[in-house]
Amino acid sequence: MKQHTWWIGGIAMSLLLLFTFSIWGADRPIGASTTVPYLATLIVDSSAQEGNYFQKIHHSGAWEALFLLGVFFTSSYLESFD
């Protein structure tokens, strides 16, 4: 079974992506470009949180940060089966 874990992980991730980014899930696009300025503003410059740009990226930045955190933990979990 060890030699086939990569395709089981691939199928699991594709089903998760299909649900997550469909209209039945979160209905959000795939991407991570807004995560860096979102997290940088949260960590470094709290005064910029009142700015127009932060208000514009707040929703998508939070979603993308959560998405990347989920990718990290899921990949770590699936790696434990190898």
In this prediction, residue 82 carries a pLDDT of 61
pLDDT averages per 10-residue partition of the chain, 82 residues: 70 79 68 84 80 83 85 83 66
Give the count of domains, the chain: 1
In this prediction, residue 51 carries a pLDDT of 79
CA dihedral for 55, 59, 62, 67, sign (positive or negative): negative
In this prediction, residue 4 carries a pLDDT of 63
The domain containing residue 64 runs over which residues? 2-79
In this prediction, residue 13 carries a pLDDT of 79
Tokens 């955190």: give the residue: 69
Whether the Cβ atoms of residue 30 and residue 63 lie closer than 8 Å to each other: no
In this prediction, residue 26 carries a pLDDT of 65
Tokens linked to 4: 């086939």
b (16+ CB within 10 A) / e for 48-80: eeeeeebeebeebbebbbebeeeeeeeeeebee
- pTM here is 0.59
